[in-house]
Structure 1
């Protein structure tokens, strides 16, 4: 793992443990992150599996959330501006069982950059769907699930009194 990836993993772990413990419980590992994309792996283990020994749909949802969300968080952090992030809605298409460590990939970094620019320029809330694909690379290149999460960003300038 290179230094910047290690630092990003530390940021993810800190966020997960301090802000959203459910994410930390699933123990995500950053595989790759850049301005353009993010890849996160969730292990299939006793914490994340269901009664059929495949990734529980709640864990799949956590994987999709953190993949798109962390890509947006890193872009917001780079902007050094007070921008609020949340997901407005969530859809999932479960195609087959995730019977192994599952990788989640989002390639919407350029769209996120555009959203940040838009909210900074207008001050308005900006919404746009992000696409996240999940697959189990040790078993197949075919996706096990496809997610669409609508990212919502809002510039919240601080008021100095």
Structure 2
């Protein structure tokens, strides 16, 4: 990890300023209580609690909260690889979700596509280059059973 990536990883896992940034720009993440458990160059794991803020009338986690935790997991992994590597824009251009099992315990979202993110960004060498990448995120309950699978496609453009 370069020094910018180390700083970014510290920021999202330990910093009160990251909480403030989320409160200002993505308040639903703060409301739902989503946290970054771990972030490395190869993976990002986020946690989503099962409580009154995330629960739907069917006594499971609201699908939008699950999607938010999944998007944060893959988005932060992409941002980690962008840190200190030039000026890029990124945007979600597609999303697919499969809800496999009722989510009624805390959920751990795992995006482990760091190598693929790095390869995709390496192909964007000159200004105006564009690429897309489909990231895969798996949501696991407290019994380590898969409750959901997400495919989030990101578009990147070198500025």
Tell me which interval the TM-score lies in, with the shorter structure as reference length.
Answer: 0.7 to 0.9
How far is the alpha carbon of 1:52 from its aligned partner? 1.9
Question: Residue 46 of structure 1: CA displacement?
Answer: 1.1
1:159 counterpart residue number:
none
Partner of 2:70: 64
Within-5 A mapping of 1:36-51:
36-51=42-57
Partner of residue 132, structure 1: 137
C-alpha offsets along residues 56-111 of structure 1, whole Å, 9 cap, x if unaligned?
A: 001011011100001111211242x1111111100001001111111000000111
Structure 1, gaps ≥5 residues long: 157-161
Q: Which residue number corresponds to residue 145 of structure 2? A: 142
Structure 2 length-normalised TM: 0.86
Cα offsets for 1:119-143 (capped at 9, x unmatched):
234732110100000011x2x2220
Task: Decide whether the 8 Å contact of 1:31 with 1:40 is kept in 2.
Answer: yes
In structure 2, C-alpha distance between the alignment counterparts of 1:86 and 1:97, rounded to whole Å: 29
In 1, Cα distance between the equivalents of 2:8 and 2:158? 27
Q: Secondary structure at the match of 2:124?
A: helix
Q: Is the 8 A contact 1:75 1:112 kept in 2?
A: yes
Residue in 2 aligned with 1:85?
90
* Aligned residue pair count: 151
CA distance in 1 between partners of 2:99 and 2:18 (Å): 26
Tell me if the contact between 2:46 and 2:110 (Cα under 8 Å) persists in the aligned partners: yes
Moved more, 121-130 or 31-40: 121-130
| Pairing partner for 2:40 from 24, 30, 34 | 34
Q: TM-score, normalised by structure 1?
A: 0.85
2:119 to 114, 119, 122: 114
| Displaced runs of 4 or more, over 4 A | 3-6
CA distance in 1, matches of 2:137, 2:119: 18
- Verify: 1:102 aligned to 2:102, yes or no: no
